[in-house]
């Protein structure tokens, strides 16, 4: 497992920053088809204006590509904060394929045999007011009977000096370079430092696996690519 690390430019070219009219960062998303971005339904309810591609920060600069949002869509059963299927899509202008690559959605049907995953987002452990940088963390996924279809991920660590939390949602959860879920809930409270006396198990992010909404997603991707 690895602690929170900063992503290099082009390391995760499918991850986008979803931005507001006021140029404020709202949440992360993943390009799953040209002009189609997967994120949370809660994110789509916010005042979204554009997305930034090819960026490792929540700010526009000369290397980033900005795409305007055309429309958004929520998963049909999403009714509000307690809905399990917190899944949404953002439709943007199409982009030049050299600008961003999409991530392939896994065909997996159960999270039972998946232990170690990577979760990605912006400003995972950033303080309020600080720039949000693209970061990733290695997490251990555990299935519990009482969490239903949610994949609950933990940071299993003996020693780190990196403050550990996950102050973002909407970003991808990845296993073997495939998209297996999205982060629907993070953790705002950071563990400042973990010492070497005992292993710390910290619940970091709750993730919704893609198999719980894949039929709907496949349909949307197919329609988008027609």
Task: Read off the pLDDT of residues 167-199 as tens digits, 9 standing for 90 and up.
Answer: 999 999 999 999 999 999 999 999 887 666 655
Tell whether 29 and 113 lie within a shared domain: no
Domain count, the chain: 2
- 28 belongs to a structural domain: yes
The pLDDT of residue 202 is 85
Share of the chain above pLDDT 70, in %: 92
Model confidence pLDDT, tens digit, residues 8-65: 988 999 999 999 999 999 999 999 999 999 999 999 999 999 999 989 999 988 888 9
pTM above 0.85, yes or no: yes
My answer on whether 145 and 50 are in the same domain is no
Whether 8 maps to a domain, the answer reads: no
pLDDT band at residue 148, thresholds of 50, 70 and 90? confident
Clarify whether residues 32 and 85 are in a common domain.
yes
Pair 80, 145 in one domain: no
> Is the same domain home to 27 and 66?
yes
CATH number of the domain that 80 lies in? 2.40.10.10
Q: Are residues 83 and 113 in the same domain?
A: no
Question: Do the Cβ atoms of 200 and 157 come closer than 8 Å?
Answer: yes
Residue 195 has what pLDDT? 67
- Which DSSP string corresponds to the chain? ----EEPPTTTSTTEEEEEETTS-EEEEEEEEETTEEEE-HHHHTS-EEEEEES-SBSS--TT-EEEEEEEEEE-TT--STT-S---EEEEE----TTT----PBP----STT--EEEEEEESTTPPTTSPPBEEEEEEEEE--GGGTTPEEEEEEES-B-S-EEE---S-EEEETTEEEEEEEE-EEEEE--B-TTS-EEEEEEEEEEGGGTHHHHHHHHHHHH-
Distance of CA 212 to the CA centre of its chain: 16
Mean pLDDT of 96-116: 85
pLDDT of residue 88: 98
pLDDT over 80 at 145, yes or no: no
pLDDT number for residue 99: 64
Q: What is the extent of the structural domain holding 92?
A: 15-102+212-225
Q: Is residue 9 part of a domain?
A: no
- The reply to whether 138 and 43 lie within a common domain is no
Give the mean pLDDT of 193-211. 80
């Amino acid at each position: 497992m690895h602690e929170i690390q900063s992503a290099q430019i082009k390391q995760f070219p499918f991850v986008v920053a979803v931005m507001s009219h006021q140029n404020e960062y709202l949440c992360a998303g993943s390009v799953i088809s040209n002009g189609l971005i997967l994120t949370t339904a809660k994110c789509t309810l916010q005042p979204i204006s554009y997305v930034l591609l090819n960026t490792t920060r929540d700010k526009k600069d000369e290397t980033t590509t900005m795409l305007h949002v055309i429309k958004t869509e929520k998963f049909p059963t999403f009714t509000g904060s307690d809905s399990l299927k917190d899944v949404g899509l953002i439709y943007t202008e199409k982009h030049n394929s050299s600008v961003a690559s999409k991530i392939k959605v896994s065909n997996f049907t159960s999270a039972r045999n998946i232990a170690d995953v990577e979760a990605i987002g912006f400003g995972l452990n950033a303080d309020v007011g600080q720039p949000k940088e693209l970061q990733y963390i290695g997490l251990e996924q555990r299935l519990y009977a009482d969490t239903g279809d949610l994949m609950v991920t933990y940071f299993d660590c003996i020693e780190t000096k990196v403050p550990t939390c996950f102050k973002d949602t909407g970003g991808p959860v990845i296993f073997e370079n495939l998209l297996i879920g999205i982060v629907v809930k993070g953790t705002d409270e950071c563990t400042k430092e973990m010492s070497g006396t005992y292993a710390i198990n910290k619940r970091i992010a709750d993730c919704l696996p893609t198999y719980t909404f894949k039929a709907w997603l496949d349909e949307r991707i197919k329609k988008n690519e027609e």
